[in-house]
Amino acid sequence: MTRPIPIPTFTDNLCYLQPCGGDRALVVDPGDAAVVLDALAKRQRRVEAILLTHQHWDHVAGAAELRSQSRCQVIGVDRSLIPACDHVTSDGQTLTLGDLRMTVIATPGHTRASVCYLVRSNVGDEPGVVYTGDTLFVSGCGRLLECDAATMWESLQRLAALPAETLVFCGHDYALENCEFAVATAPADRRFRDRLAQVERAVEYGQPTVPSTIAQERAANIFLRANDPHVKEALGMANASPQEVLAELRRRKDSFAT
Ligand SMILES: [Zn+2]
């Protein structure tokens, strides 16, 4: 399948065009219709469907205008939260969109109704890409705005169980800050230090830090490693549950300043 095209919007949001055959593309989390329409025109692509990961304005604000301009369907989680939705998804649902196959993964945590979209080719078994919105970031996870840490932990586990080579396309680029947080929290961990060095190099050379892979997230995302004895020890929580460790990591990250 053709790789997604990231469309930076606002300060650090990432919206995506996912080519899905011919001149068609899926649009993921269009916070700003004008920016997306411009990107579509430049690439001479038309919208097949819009995918929304959750209801926050910086992910959905452009959806209604894009829909009226391109007469496409809007796929999302809850019409009471996102009135622009034509098609309300549910966990495990699979839809064929152009020459792609999209599967919905319910991932409550950041919000109650957050979902991720796993997108693969209609033919073949290649691992594909996952759009994670504000649930899983490169080396981070979203804030717990409507759910507790246990709910987020369960959702992160579902994402971590995807094939290792799956590419992770998230809703914001916070990679550098997240890696700095991991090293500040567990400085003895080699995998966090190596990942920070990698991300710093990418930033220095103006290269993108998104996407990562599920394998990279399993290794160097401190939130996914809340059950790891090294991380627990670094926090002084050797006997705590991963849910308690995740809650503490999220608390510390909320007030972390670089
Ligand atoms: Zn959000």
Query: Which residues, other chains included, contact 119 with Cβ-Cβ below 8 Å and sequence gap of 6+?
Result: 1, 18, 26, 100, 101, 102, 103, 128, 129, 130, 131
Q: What predicted TM-score, i.e. pTM, was given to this entire model? A: 0.97
Task: Say whether 172 is catalytic.
Answer: yes
Model confidence pLDDT, tens digit, residues 48-92 = 999 999 999 999 999 999 999 999 999 998 889 998 899 999 999
Task: Say whether 230 is catalytic.
Answer: no
The residues placing their C-beta within 5 Å of ligand 1, an ion, are: 56, 134
What is the percent of the chain with per-residue pLDDT over 90, rounded to a whole number? 94
Residue 206, Cβ neighbours under 10 Å: how many?
Answer: 6
CB burial of residue 236 (10 Å; 0-12, 13-18, 19+): exposed
86 DSSP 8-state letter: S
The strand pair at 13-19 and 24-28 is best described as antiparallel
**Catalytic annotation, pick one of 29, 32, 134, 173:** 134
> Which residue has 């080579």 as its token pair?
165
User: Rounded distance, CA 133 to CA 104, Å?
Assistant: 12
How much distance in Å is there from the Cα of 176 to the middle of ligand 1? Answer: 19
Query: Which residues, other chains included, contact 217 with Cβ-Cβ below 8 Å and sequence gap of 6+?
Result: 136, 138, 139, 159, 160, 168, 224
How much distance in Å is there from the Cα of 22 to the middle of ligand 1? Answer: 31
How much distance in Å is there from the Cα of 134 to the middle of ligand 1? Answer: 5
Model confidence pLDDT, tens digit, residues 204-231 = 999 999 999 999 999 999 999 999 999 9
> Which residue has 């500040």 as its token pair?
184
How much distance in Å is there from the Cα of 59 to the middle of ligand 1? Answer: 7
How much distance in Å is there from the Cα of 54 to the middle of ligand 1? Answer: 7
